[in-house]
Structure 1
Amino acid sequence: MTRLNYEHNGSKKTDSKMSLLSYRVSDFILFNIFFLLAFQNAFQKLFGGAFAYIDEFSALLLCCWAVFSMHGHKTRYCMISRYLLLINSLLLLLGLCGNLLYKLQPAYQAIAIDAFACSKFIISLISSVVILQKRSVIELASSFAKLILPLLLILYFLNQFIDLGLSSGERLGYSFLFGHPTNFAATVVCLISILLLDVKSNRLFIVCGLLVLCATGRFKAIGFAFIIAAAVFLYSNKKKIPLSFILLAGCGALFLVYDQISLYFFDSTTARSVLLSTSFDVANMHWPLGSGLATYGSNASADYYSSFYYSLGFPSVYGLGPMNHDYLVDSFWPAVIGQCGYIGLLLVAIIFVLLFSMSRKAVDHGVPLWASFAIPIYLLIASTSEASIFSSYSVLLAMTFAMLTADSNPFHVGESDE
């Protein structure tokens, strides 16, 4: 195992040989948090109970750890961190004002749950970047990725001939031990992203990961796999994303998911189409604040199904009813538009811009291009029909993104862009 440092030109340099004794206890603790987050959905399916709250507990733990680590030290943040915290705070304030004004969600517990769901990605990202400075957990995660991805691919092929119970049906595809292929795909994306730190050495492992990703049968995962494959095999040595790549990746991904886009957004009878079109009506009815947190398209709004949904006629739409609300929680932009209005839509768009800016700064400080941009790209793709930064796997993505950028970006304690 080697410790990797990335020079300003993005090349890998072997710094020193490391044994397990070279790691600190905190490195192993952080890796265990990463491992639990990566396999949370599998543990939840197998054991249930407290495993369903691993992401929330991890977000709080990372936040407390970051605050403790900053205690007694002079701390400054670059403008990106300040903007992320500010924008997220404004988004929460907007939603809470909508709750106070329109009172569509009577359950305060639901509002609190949704507020935390909307914040845990930013909280985890900021906290992880503070904690992960000069730590070696990325190396443990990289070694784990090299071990698990080939194993997952082997098990997938075995599962075609022997029923190992690792699939979720013909349509949904390979899910390993996870409750749903979507969560499994997010974990595989994180493992692939870590290996992108050294494409030349990890190319075979990356290919294994991309094949596993395609085996999930999720169109978003397949689209991401296509983009990363193009990056690895055609644009691996680039220092900036070329226009030709954007055109190639965009057209290719659009071709792969066009049928799903048509089904979700242009067929007025489907749940996702209804959810999206109605979100604009909700935003217009509750201009300019939106309907408030836990009122539209979020997981909390489904668990605490309110009379507001009845007034919208959702119980008559398959997948949006009180007993079958699978598609009600399977959205991102409709939830943002409905709950926080057009101002909220602008704020969330700014969050994505800041994430890509953070990737750009990491590249400027030596992190390989595709490793820096992989997580924001996947979050943007996932936002088309998943909860993205509001999802249960968002803490895992935040921690992975921090691991990929922490050692070389200006987003950490002690440095500032001011």
Structure 2
Amino acid sequence: MIISINKKAIIGLFILVSSIVGLLFERSPFDELVGIVSMLYVLILILLGKLSKEDVITVIVLLIVILIGVYSNIFSGIERSIYSIAIDIVAKIKVIFPFLAIKYFFNEKAKICLTKILQYPAKFYIITSFLCGIISLFVNIGMSSTSERYGLLGYRFIFNFDFQFLAVSMLAILCIVESNIRKKYKYIYYFMAGISLIFTTKSSPIIFSVLFILFCFYFKKRFYISKKTYFFILIIIILLGTYQIQTYLLNENAPRYLFFYYAGVTANEYFPLGAGFATFGSDEAARDYSPLYYLYGFKYLFGMTPDDGSFLSDNFWPMAIGQFGWIGAILYLYIFIRLYQSIYINKVLTGEERAFAYAGFLQSFIHAIGAAILSNASGQIMYIILGIVLSNKKSKSLEK
């Protein structure tokens, strides 16, 4: 296989490999760096008139949300350091801006070059993760968590968390999507990757796997998702997420339930624009323990104390409600809906690319209910990958 080297593909490869390596460390600053550089790149594109009107609106709404958060920090009266506020702001942009940046930076040639370079590693990754997943069903080879669901230990492959496994698996699957191998062989790889993700026993990897396969068949004869299909998808998501819904969202003692409850309390108390950055639900609110957590009695709860905050960052939408208020949270949700809608305006996606994009976006929305996936390094990787998928749609200004 002869590969024509593309400079943009090499840069994309460096970003992805460095990001994946960063996942293996407890805390790497690389994702923050990517977020900041991407923001600067997108702002330059705006100044040069090379961003589409739709994406300019998305950036403006995001900047409004940031201003809401800073305004709330000033007037809420909750003491937060400038450092914590700044780190939290970067966390809120490090998924959205890289998505937009890579979508405009990449083109069809770069996408083809990148996926060709990674095609054989992707095949090896999928086969190896599948075989290790099968073995892990019968023998503990150190690739499973200690928690059990449906009678199975959650499979993680070589990663510490299921969402890291999902992010890298999405990249491997994309390489198969973009490959020229025969359809039947593609579906064998899809099957192996999907089964491996199902072994995690977590809702988000399972939802992505199931939706991707279903959409691959669905988009063979269709271009858009109908309203009836969305209703069917909702039923599938509820069924696949029943365990998580009952365990985490309907259990009054579960941290995720508490975050949703107190997100509403915080939004009402600091109506209409919330409590501000680093005050509720975010990673920085946990690291620089928020005064609100003392007020709400979190310091007495397991995994939510100043010394052990392991459950303090397992959310995203409650964070948006608490920190930006009802108005800011709606605007923040609107941003991600706009990113999701970018699939519709892309007229050149293949059926499998469309299936991949829809499955990727939908799982991230659901995942964000109980995890900070839309503000962490794994989420950044996912959205960079989604940006690559959509990169063959250029704005009019770029086509000149």
**Superposed pair shares fold, TM > 0.5:** yes
Aligned residue in 2 for 1:326: 310
Task: Give the equivalent residue in structure 2 for 1:11.
Answer: none
Distance 1:89 1:63, change over 3 A: closer
How far the C-alpha of 1:215 sits from its partner, in A, is: 1.1
1:381 to partner: Cα distance: 1.7
User: In the TM superposition, what are the counterparts of 1:100-115 in structure 2 within 5 Å?
Assistant: 100-115=74-89
Alignment of 1:333-344 (within 5 A): 333-344=317-328
Unmatched segments (≥5 aa) in structure 2 = none
Q: 2: CA distance between counterparts of 1:221 and 1:297?
A: 23
> Could you tell me whether the CA contact under 8 Å between 2:61 and 2:331 is conserved in 1?
yes
Q: Please tell me whether residue 360 in structure 1 is matched to residue 344 in structure 2.
A: yes
Counterpart Cα distance in 2 of 1:386 and 1:141: 29
Are 1:79 and 2:62 matched, yes or no? no
SS at match of 2:23: helix
Query: What is the match of residue 172 of structure 2?
Result: 191
In the alignment, the residues of structure 1 paired with residue 361 and residue 290 of structure 2 have an alpha-carbon distance, to the nearest angstrom, of 33
**Does structure 1 residue 34 correspond to structure 2 residue 16?**
yes
Question: 1:124 Cα shift?
Answer: 0.8
Report how many aligned residue pairs link the two structures. 388
C-alpha distance 197-328 of structure 1, shift in aligned 2 (>3 A) = same
The alignment status of 1:217 with 2:201, answered yes or no, reads yes
In 1, are the aligned partners of 2:34 and 2:94 still within 8 Å (CA)? no
Of the candidates 140, 159, 176, which is equivalent to residue 117 of structure 2?
140
Per the normalisation by structure 2, the TM-score is 0.88
Greater shift, 52-61 or 176-185, is seen at 52-61
Label 1:119 to 1:66 Cα distance change in 2 as closer, same or farther (>3 A): closer
Query: Given that residues 207 and 363 in structure 2 are in contact (C-alpha distance below 8 angstroms), is that contact kept between their aligned partners in structure 1?
Result: no
Equivalence for 1:16: none
Kindly tell me: are residues 92 and 54 of structure 1, through their superposed partners in 2, closer, same or farther at Cα, counting changes over 3 Å?
same
Partner Cα separation in structure 1 for residue 290 and residue 389 of structure 2: 41
TM-fit CA distance, 1:267: 1.9
Indicate yes or no: 2:247 matched with 1:256.
Answer: no
Q: How far apart, CA to CA, are the structure 1 residues paired with 2:245 and 2:53?
A: 36
Shift in Å, 1:33: 1.7
Secondary structure class of the residue paired with 1:168: strand
Please state if 1:52 is matched with 2:28. yes
Asked if the contact 1:74–1:414 (Cα under 8 Å) also holds between the matched residues in 2, the reply is no
1:379 to 334, 340, 364: 364
Query: How many percent identity over aligned positions?
Result: 21
Distance 1:105 1:181 in 2: 35
Contact 1:331/1:385 (8 A) holds in 2: yes
DSSP 3-state at the match of 1:52: coil
CA apart distance, 1:345: 1.4
Answer yes or no: is 1:395 the counterpart of 2:380. yes
- How many angstroms does 1:351 deviate by? 1.0
Task: Spell out the pairing of 1:281-320 with structure 2 (5 A cutoff).
Answer: 281-320=265-304
The one-character-per-residue Cα deviations of 1:84-110 (angstroms, maximum 9, x if unpaired) are: 211110111000101000231422111
Please report how far the alpha carbon of residue 244 of structure 1 lies from its aligned counterpart in structure 2 after TM superposition: 4.3
TM-score, normalising length from structure 1? 0.85
Paired position in structure 2 for 1:178: 159
Task: Tell me which residue corresponds to 1:99.
Answer: 73
Structure 2 counterpart of 1:275? 259
User: How far apart, in 2, do the equivalents of 1:141 and 1:241 lie?
Assistant: 30
Aligned to 2:233, what secondary structure does the other structure show?
helix
Partners of 1:146 and 1:252 lie apart in 2 by: 29
Going from structure 1 to structure 2, the CA distance change for 1:274 and 1:94 (only over 3 Å counts) comes to same
8 Å Cα contact 1:185/1:216 also seen in 2: no
What is the rounded CA distance, in whole Å, between the counterparts of 1:309 and 1:123 in structure 2? 30
Supply the RMSD in Å over aligned alpha carbons: 2.6
Equivalent-residue separation in structure 2 for 1:30 and 1:78 (angstroms):
22
Alpha-carbon shift at residue 77 of structure 1 (Å): 1.6
Give the aligned partner of residue 202 of structure 1: 186
